[in-house]
Structure 1
């Protein structure tokens, strides 16, 4: 049965809001990393380890999402994710110690992990095929939108009330979103199967699904690199601007917001282009090339670089490094076997999240070894360029086959 248009728009609106709030939860600590590091008495380079813990939890939760979504419904699982993110933020706020920080980070990841598989399940059911890339891209614009909110509000909240107030304010926002979603649950979760048994005996099932499909496996491998670039941009930009270029935290947060605005715009534009004119995998190849160029340009920034040039670079960097996800997820949902969109998305995201786990850690180690964040951004350019080349090569083989 084809859902009514109102159901489709409602599904898009609530999944976008949920995505934005959990993304803001993930990026709250990076948006105030120097102050958070000072309060914990650790080096700001440990922010990479924090992100690794967040996405370790997300990776596990994404693999578990499939059966949970089928049994309880996409909206209920999204609400649960919001609440768990809020709990992680509250723990960080109320127990300012390093062990609690990592437990809180893991909880935020567990809350974040099932959100995209849940929304993919819902949108795959409610979205016409010819609008898939655009709709998935609009929903995924919630990720950079959450970054915009983190960059715009968290430093100001930090100055007004300290780290505790900033963390608790974002936690409250997640809880409010969970409450707002409740009236929408009955119609949007109408396909849930309450009697479906839960079986987590094999978390590798979604991974096997992806590995058994050559195109899905190839896309997942590219997402490993793309996600590393995306998260290194979001995780280290404020610290890089603050420590290497002399920016204040509020100004650096504003630049981060600019990059994330680029991501919001980019996701929607790329989704529209992928639906209308350019095949999704060629669109991803273009974005990989832009990522490589922007990584190199960011590494070359100097303290006296003109602000308009910096902001323009950040818009393009954000548009590419955080703009690829919607096109990617729509392609994953399209390639997935019928009825397995959430499982295919969960398996693909496990690989994506692995890039998020390892990327910032390796970035931090490399930057520490060279005593410069420039080395980290420069190193990211090479694998991004390789992904672009591979996507173009594969597209040519498909065309000539």
Structure 2
């Protein structure tokens, strides 16, 4: 006899929503990180320094911030999975634009990829909040956010090899083809996931207004602003630092970058479980911010004489900390009011995007002025410490564990 609905594990109902949201998040992040990781070989062809990748990433996330701010209106006419598939195709288009080798089209590619990223957080949050109980949000949102280091792992392990075999333009084209195929496969779930929504999206005002109306959530989001900027500095400049300043081959640097991202995958799941079961999201994020500050400070001391094994250990440590907190922030926002999950998480992610917009260009400016990536990572460590101080002011309360 079939088990009654109440006896069915919620995880059995979640595999399709998680698989769909993970796939789209990975695709969109791949479209941005592919260009950043290949910056050391793209830059010379275009006659620009590798540090230009910081401006590419900043432009992408600026577009993401704008789209997040308007997501409540942009997504109203369509279902969350339809919007996710639109984002998937935009990611593919961004890679096609970047592969042209034209600076103006590369800038357009950043805008397109960033806009796609701005769509994915509210759409995936709506899909997951409609299918998961709030008690599982820490784990569910953390699992979904493994897409970010998962994309970095894929890019770190495949893009340098593809670029070696096909050239950097061929590598981007091959990646675009893979995203197109994945989008076609995901389209088979469109009707199912469009129907599983939260009573047809209530009008809840703008995402930014929702965050500004809650002082404690605002402080949490400001900490996210800091941590997101530090995270993207690592994602953008880690490979360039290892190649241009430490002197490692691109293939080895790409593998270490992949390790940095890979460690964030299981770490996000474990931290999400610990937050749900024991510590709460605020305390868990605070621990991660402290560890991230320590790890980035150590990275400032890495140089040509540093053993690759020690760099690998540091990459793993950074993956366990600075690459592992985002899902917890989104879970905290969604727990406040599951019916407004798309609006609240869009507002929280908008602050993340603004941090990403602000810090990588500043990092690139510091590197250009000092000719030292260590100086840039010193700045990143100071920003991470600011996040620790902000989180220390967020008290536990109902809605923020």
Q: TM-score, normalised by structure 1?
A: 0.93
Q: Paired residue for 2:391?
A: 391
* Secondary structure of the structure 2 residue equivalent to 1:357: helix
Aligned partners of 1:397 and 1:334: how far apart in 2? 11
Report the Cα offset of residue 308 of structure 1: 2.1
Q: Paired residue for 2:15?
A: 9
Q: Paired residue for 2:42?
A: 36
Whether contact under 8 Å (2:239, 2:253) holds in the other structure is: yes
Distance 1:192 1:289, change over 3 A: closer
Report the Cα offset of residue 395 of structure 1: 3.5
Whether contact under 8 Å (1:238, 1:256) holds in the other structure is: yes
For structure 1, list consecutive stretches of 5 or more residues without a partner in the other structure.
none
Report the Cα offset of residue 180 of structure 1: 1.2
Listed as ranges, the matches of 1:229-378 within 5 Å are 229-335=230-336, 337-378=337-378
Report the Cα offset of residue 190 of structure 1: 0.6
Listed as ranges, the matches of 1:176-187 within 5 Å are 176-187=181-192
Report the Cα offset of residue 394 of structure 1: 3.0
Aligned partners of 1:394 and 1:63: how far apart in 2? 24
Counterpart of 2:145 (choices 140, 145, 150) is: 140
Aligned length: 392
Give CA deviations for 1:7-56 in whole Å, capped at 9, x if unaligned. Answer: 42210111111111211111001111111111111111111111111111
Aligned partners of 2:364 and 2:228: how far apart in 1? 16
Q: Paired residue for 2:95?
A: 89
Aligned partners of 2:96 and 2:333: how far apart in 1? 34
Distance 1:69 1:192, change over 3 A: farther
Report the Cα offset of residue 191 of structure 1: 4.5
Give CA deviations for 1:241-280 in whole Å, capped at 9, x if unaligned. Answer: 0011111111111010000011112211110110111121
Listed as ranges, the matches of 1:80-159 within 5 Å are 80-93=86-99, 95-159=100-164
Distance 1:206 1:196, change over 3 A: closer
Aligned partners of 1:196 and 1:291: how far apart in 2? 36
Distance 1:188 1:281, change over 3 A: same
Aligned partners of 2:332 and 2:52: how far apart in 1? 34
Aligned partners of 1:333 and 1:11: how far apart in 2? 16
Aligned partners of 1:284 and 1:376: how far apart in 2? 23
The answer on 1:168 being equivalent to 2:168 is no
Whether contact under 8 Å (1:71, 1:195) holds in the other structure is: no
Whether contact under 8 Å (2:95, 2:109) holds in the other structure is: yes
Report the Cα offset of residue 81 of structure 1: 0.3
Aligned partners of 2:303 and 2:395: how far apart in 1? 38
* Secondary structure of the structure 2 residue equivalent to 1:26: helix
Report the Cα offset of residue 6 of structure 1: 4.1
Aligned partners of 1:46 and 1:338: how far apart in 2? 40
Aligned partners of 1:48 and 1:72: how far apart in 2? 33
Give CA deviations for 1:191-239 in whole Å, capped at 9, x if unaligned. Answer: 4699999x9xx9x821111100122211111111000110000000111
Report the Cα offset of residue 296 of structure 1: 0.8
Aligned partners of 1:393 and 1:84: how far apart in 2? 39
RMSD: 2.3
Q: TM-score, normalised by structure 2?
A: 0.93
Q: Paired residue for 1:210?
A: 211
Aligned partners of 1:22 and 1:196: how far apart in 2? 24
Aligned partners of 2:60 and 2:284: how far apart in 1? 29
Aligned partners of 2:327 and 2:197: how far apart in 1? 25
Aligned partners of 2:50 and 2:383: how far apart in 1? 25
Distance 1:97 1:215, change over 3 A: same
Report the Cα offset of residue 173 of structure 1: 2.0
Whether contact under 8 Å (1:121, 1:342) holds in the other structure is: yes
Give CA deviations for 1:354-392 in whole Å, capped at 9, x if unaligned. Answer: 111111000000111111000010111122123213323
For structure 2, list consecutive stretches of 5 or more residues without a partner in the other structure.
none
Distance 1:397 1:231, change over 3 A: same
Aligned partners of 2:11 and 2:307: how far apart in 1? 47
Whether contact under 8 Å (1:33, 1:44) holds in the other structure is: yes
